[in-house]
C-alpha cells in the first residue's frame, strides 16, 4: 500500500532527515528566487504528506492514500512545516510582486495555523476531534467526481488504512482524557463503526463485481471492528476522565494570533463579544415586541421555534435554496460565478455534532455538487429534546443562508476560483465561518422576509448562539468556566434547548476556536464599513448599500486568508484602524 511506502520513508531520522528536508525543490527555489515554483513545490509536498487533503481538494490520483498519523509521522510533518515556513519567510519583499507578497503572507499564515495545532497545542496527542475532523469518507461515497465503480478503489484504500489509523489514535492520545473528549470519542468513533458496517455497503451495493464486493466486505468489517474497539477504549476511559481540557490564557492568545493573525488581548475579545451580545439582545427585544407584544422573550422565541417546517427539514431546505438564490440575484448582493449547485440530504450518523453543515467540492473538481447536510436529533434524547432540536421554519431558513446562499457554499464557489492556489486550497476558520455568519444579518438587512419579525428573531437567535460560543470559549479556556455554566449560558442568553446547549458547551472544550463565528463576523462588518466609507468619500448622499456588492466580490476574491490580511490588502498598509 502507498501508506506503507510513506511510513518507510518517514523512518529516516537525525542527519538523514535533516538532509532530506534541506535538499528539497522548495529550498532550491528559494535560492533561485522563484516564488511561484516554491508555492508549486510546497503544494505538491503537502499533498504527498497529506494525501487525503489532496483527495478532498480534487486531486484524485491520490485516491486511497491516507496520511501517516503515527507519532513519528506527525513529528516529521511538524519538521516539514517548520522548514517550509523558514524557506517562505526567506523570500524578501523586494523580490516579489504585491500579489506574491500577499500570497507569501497568506501561505506562512497557513503554516503557522497547522503548527499551532500540531506543535503548540499538541492536539493529535490530546484531542480526538483532530482526527475525526479529517476522516469523513464522503468524498468517495457521495461526491460524484467519477462513477461509483471508479470511486470504490479509493474507498477501499481508505478503509484498509482505518485499522492502522485507529491504532495510532489510541497510541497517540495521552490519558486521562477530559470527560467531554471521552464522550466525543465514543459518539464519533462508534458512529464511524456503525457507518462502515451498515451504511457503506448500501452505497456500493449496485456494483456487480463479486471479487470487489468481497474485498469491500472484508475492508469494511476490519474498519468497523477497529473503530468499535476504539470506541470501547474510550468507554474504558470514563472512569479516569477529568476536566483538564483548558488551554490557558497564554496558549489561547497564541491560538488567536497564530491561526487568525488577530493580535488582541483576551479582555478585548471578550468585550467585543459581550457588546455584540447586548446589541443582539436589544434587537431581539424589539422584534419580539412586534411579533408577540406582552409576551416574555422566551415565549416569543418559543413561538418561532415551535413553527416547524411542515415538509420536514430536508424537503423544506430544498425549497428554501431556490428562493434564496433568486433573492441574491434580484437584490444584487454578490456575484455568483458558474452554475454550481448544492444538494440537501440527512447527515451521516458519524458526523452529527452540528445540526447542519455543508461538504464542499474541491477546487480541482468541476461539475461536482456540494452537499448541505441536516442532522436528525439524537435518538437517545427524550422525545421532548428531540422535538426541540428540530429547527423552526424561520430558523432553518437562516441556517440555509449560512450554509448555502450566500454563506459557505457561495464563499467556496468564489475561493475555488481564486487566482492563487493558496486561496483555493486553504480557507481559514474565521474567514469561512465569519462570512457565513455575516451573511445571516446581511440577508435580513437586504430585506429577506420582507420585514417579518419572525425572520429577524431567527437570525438574532443564531447570532446570540454564536455570541455565547465566543464567551464560552474564552470562559472555558481562560477563566475556569465549567461546561455546566456554559450550558446554562446557551440556555439563558441564546434560548437554546437542552440538547443543543449541552452539545455546544462540550464542543467548546474540544473546539476552542469556535469563537471565530462571532470574531470573523465582527471583523468583516468593520472592514466593510471602513472600505465603504472610503468609497463614499466625496459622494454625499450615496447609499452605503450600493457599494456592498463590490465589497463582497473583492473580499471573496482573496480565497480565505486571515481577515487581517484581507483588511490590509483592501485598505492598504497604512490602515491602522481597529479590527473590530
List, for residues 119-173, the tens digit of each pLDDT value.
Answer: 999 999 999 999 999 998 989 998 889 999 999 999 999 999 999 999 999 999 9
Q: pLDDT digit string (tens) for 479-512? A: 999 999 999 999 999 998 888 899 999 999 999 9
Residue 406, helix vs strand vs coil:
coil
Check pLDDT > 50 for residue 214: yes
- The angle subtended at Cα 166 by Cα 161 and Cα 170, nearest 5°, is 150
Check pLDDT > 70 for residue 301: yes
Q: Are 46 and 83 in contact (CB under 8 A)?
A: no
Distance CA 328, CA 316 (A): 19
Q: Are 407 and 496 in contact (CB under 8 A)?
A: no
Q: Are 47 and 421 in contact (CB under 8 A)?
A: no
Strand arrangement of the beta sheet that strand 370-374 belongs to: 342-346, 370-374, 356-359
**Mean pLDDT calculated for residue range 84-92:** 96
Residue 494 lies in a domain: yes
Check pLDDT > 60 for residue 3: no
Binning the chain into helix, strand and coil, the percentages to the nearest 5 are 70, 5, 30
Q: Are 521 and 438 in contact (CB under 8 A)?
A: yes
Check pLDDT > 70 for residue 74: yes
For the chain, the first-to-last Cα distance in angstroms comes to 50
pLDDT top residue among 9 and 120: 120
User: What is the residue range of 116's domain?
Assistant: 1-121
- Cα 148 to Cα 60, 139, 151, 213, 218, distances in angstroms: 14, 11, 5, 13, 19
* pLDDT in the model for residue 498: 87
- Cα 138 to Cα 144, 220, 359, 361, 405, distances in angstroms: 10, 15, 8, 10, 22
Distance CA 153, CA 212 (A): 9
| Cα 528 versus chain centre, distance | 23
Residues of the chain with pLDDT > 70: what percent?
94
The grid coordinates of residue 16 equal 538523514
Q: Does 115 lie in the same domain as 258?
A: no
pTM of the model: 0.92
Most confident of 106-120, 342-356, 379-393: 106-120
Check pLDDT > 60 for residue 25: no
**What is the band of 26 on the pLDDT scale with cuts at 50, 70, 90?**
low
Written in H, E and C, the secondary structure of 365-377 is CCCCCEEEEECCC
Q: List the one residue out of 244, 163, 153 whose CA is nearest residue 196.
A: 163
**Mean pLDDT calculated for residue range 28-32:** 53
Distance CA 220, CA 341 (A): 31
Distance CA 39, CA 26 (A): 8
| Cα 17 versus chain centre, distance | 33
**What is the band of 388 on the pLDDT scale with cuts at 50, 70, 90?**
confident
Q: Are 60 and 146 in contact (CB under 8 A)?
A: yes
φ and ψ at residue 237, rounded to 5 degrees: -85, -10
* pLDDT in the model for residue 11: 22
**What is the band of 2 on the pLDDT scale with cuts at 50, 70, 90?**
very low
* pLDDT in the model for residue 29: 56
Asked if the bond preceding 192 is cis, omega within 30° of 0, the reply is no
Instruction: Mark out the alpha helices in 292-358 (DSSP H runs).
Output: 297-306, 313-331
Check pLDDT > 50 for residue 248: yes
**Mean pLDDT calculated for residue range 414-424:** 97
| Cα 505 versus chain centre, distance | 18
- The angle subtended at Cα 357 by Cα 354 and Cα 360, nearest 5°, is 150
* Domain boundary residue, one of 121, 154, 176: 121
Taking the CB of residue 284, how many other CB atoms lie within 10 A of it? 22
* pLDDT in the model for residue 380: 85
Please tell me what DSSP assigns to residue 10: T
Distance CA 144, CA 571 (A): 40
Using CA atoms in the order 29, 34, 37, 38, what is the torsion angle rounded to 10 degrees? 60
Least confident of 12-16, 196-200, 253-257, 376-380: 12-16
* pLDDT in the model for residue 351: 65
CB crowding 126-153: b at 16 or more within 10 Å, else e: bbbbbbbeebbbebbbbbebeebeebbe
Check pLDDT > 90 for residue 48: yes
Q: Does 256 lie in the same domain as 117?
A: no
| Cross-strand partners of 342 | 370
Residue 201, helix vs strand vs coil:
helix
**Mean pLDDT calculated for residue range 390-401:** 95
* Domain boundary residue, one of 121, 137, 153: 121
Taking the CB of residue 171, how many other CB atoms lie within 10 A of it? 11
Residue 282 lies in a domain: yes
| Cα 491 versus chain centre, distance | 24
Residue 45 lies in a domain: yes
Nearest-10 crossing angle of helices 25-32, 71-89: 10
The grid coordinates of residue 465 equal 448562539
pLDDT top residue among 2 and 137: 137
Average pLDDT value over all residues in the chain: 92
* Domain boundary residue, one of 495, 520, 545: 520
Residue 531 lies in a domain: no
Residue 76 lies in a domain: yes
**What is the band of 30 on the pLDDT scale with cuts at 50, 70, 90?**
low
Residue 556 lies in a domain: no
**What is the band of 1 on the pLDDT scale with cuts at 50, 70, 90?**
very low
Q: Are 227 and 190 in contact (CB under 8 A)?
A: yes
Please tell me what DSSP assigns to residue 65: -
Least confident of 160-164, 558-562, 570-574: 570-574
Least confident of 202-211, 345-354, 460-469: 345-354
* pLDDT in the model for residue 387: 82
Residue 130 lies in a domain: no
Asked if the bond preceding 176 is cis, omega within 30° of 0, the reply is yes
Total structural domains in the chain?
A: 2
Residue 138 lies in a domain: no
Taking the CB of residue 251, how many other CB atoms lie within 10 A of it? 17
Amino acid at each position: 500500500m502507498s501508506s506503507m511506502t510513506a511510513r518507510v520513508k518517514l523512518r529516516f531520522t537525525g542527519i538523514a532527515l535533516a538532509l532530506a528536508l534541506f535538499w528539497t525543490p522548495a529550498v532550491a527555489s528559494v535560492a533561485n528566487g522563484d516564488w511561484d515554483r516554491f508555492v508549486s513545490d510546497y503544494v505538491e509536498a503537502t499533498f504527498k504528506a497529506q494525501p487525503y487533503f489532496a483527495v478532498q481538494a480534487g486531486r484524485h490520483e491520490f485516491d486511497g492514500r491516507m496520511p501517516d498519523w503515527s507519532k513519528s509521522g506527525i513529528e516529521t510533518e511538524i519538521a516539514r512545516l517548520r522548514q517550509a515556513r523558514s524557506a517562505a519567510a526567506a523570500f524578501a519583499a523586494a523580490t516579489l510582486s504585491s500579489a506574491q507578497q500577499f500570497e507569501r503572507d497568506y501561505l506562512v499564515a497557513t503554516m503557522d495555523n497547522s503548527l499551532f495545532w500540531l506543535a503548540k497545542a499538541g492536539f493529535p496527542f490530546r484531542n480526538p476531534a483532530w482526527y475525526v475532523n479529517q476522516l469523513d469518507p464522503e468524498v468517495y461515497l457521495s461526491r460524484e467526481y467519477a462513477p461509483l465503480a471508479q470511486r470504490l478503489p479509493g474507498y477501499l484504500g481508505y478503509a484498509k488504512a482505518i485499522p492502522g489509523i485507529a491504532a495510532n489514535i489510541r497510541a497517540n492520545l495521552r490519558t486521562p482524557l477530559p470527560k467531554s473528549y471521552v464522550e466525543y470519542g465514543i459518539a464519533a468513533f462508534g458512529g464511524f463503526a456503525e457507518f462502515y458496517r451498515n451504511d457503506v455497503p448500501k452505497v456500493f451495493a449496485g456494483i456487480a463485481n463479486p471479487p470487489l464486493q468481497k474485498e469491500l466486505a472484508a475492508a469494511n468489517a476490519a474498519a468497523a471492528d477497529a473503530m468499535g474497539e476504539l470506541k470501547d477504549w474510550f468507554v474504558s476511559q470514563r472512569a479516569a476522565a477529568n476536566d483538564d481540557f483548558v488551554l490557558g490564557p497564554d496558549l489561547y492568545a497564541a491560538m488567536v494570533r497564530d491561526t487568525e493573525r488577530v493580535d488582541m488581548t483576551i479582555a478585548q475579545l471578550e468585550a467585543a463579544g459581550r457588546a455584540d451580545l447586548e446589541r443582539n439582545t436589544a434587537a431581539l427585544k424589539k422584534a419580539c415586541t412586534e411579533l408577540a407584544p406582552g409576551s416574555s422573550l422566551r415565549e416569543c422565541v418559543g413561538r418561532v421555534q415551535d413553527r416547524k417546517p411542515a415538509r420536514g427539514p430536508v424537503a423544506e431546505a430544498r425549497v428554501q435554496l431556490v428562493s434564496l438564490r433568486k433573492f441574491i440575484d434580484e437584490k444584487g448582493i454578490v456575484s455568483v460565478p458558474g452554475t454550481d449547485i448544492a444538494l440537501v440530504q440527512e447527515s451521516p450518523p458519524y458526523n452529527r455534532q452540528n445540526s447542519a453543515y455543508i461538504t464542499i467540492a474541491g477546487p480541482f473538481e468541476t461539475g461536482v455538487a456540494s452537499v448541505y447536510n441536516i442532522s436528525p436529533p439524537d435518538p437517545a434524547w427524550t422525545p421532548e429534546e428531540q422535538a426541540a432540536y428540530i429547527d423552526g421554519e424561520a430558523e432553518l431558513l437562516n441556517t440555509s443562508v449560512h450554509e448555502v446562499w450566500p454563506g459557505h457554499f457561495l464563499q467556496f464557489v468564489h475561493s475555488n476560483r481564486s487566482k492563487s492556489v493558496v486561496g483555493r486550497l486553504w480557507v481559514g476558520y474565521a474567514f469561512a465561518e465569519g462570512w457565513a455568519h455575516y451573511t445571516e444579518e446581511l440577508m435580513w438587512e437586504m430585506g429577506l422576509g420582507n420585514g417579518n419579525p419572525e425572520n429577524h428573531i431567527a437570525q438574532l437567535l443564531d447570532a446570540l448562539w454564536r455570541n455565547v460560543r465566543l464567551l464560552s470559549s474564552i470562559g472555558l479556556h481562560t477563566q475556569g468556566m465549567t461546561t455546566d455554566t456554559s450550558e446554562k449560558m446557551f440556555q439563558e442568553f441564546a434560548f437554546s434547548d437542552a440538547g443543543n446547549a449541552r452539545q455546544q458547551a462540550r464542543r467548546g472544550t474540544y473546539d476552542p476556536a469556535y469563537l471565530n463565528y462571532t470574531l470573523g463576523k465582527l471583523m468583516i462588518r468593520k472592514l466593510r464599513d471602513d472600505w465603504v466609507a472610503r468609497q463614499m468619500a466625496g459622494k454625499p448622499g450615496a447609499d452605503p448599500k450600493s457599494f456592498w456588492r463590490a465589497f463582497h466580490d473583492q473580499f471573496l476574491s482573496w480565497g480565505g486568508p486571515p481577515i487581517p490580511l484581507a483588511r490590509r490588502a483592501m485598505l492598504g498598509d497604512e490602515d491602522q484602524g481597529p479590527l473590530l
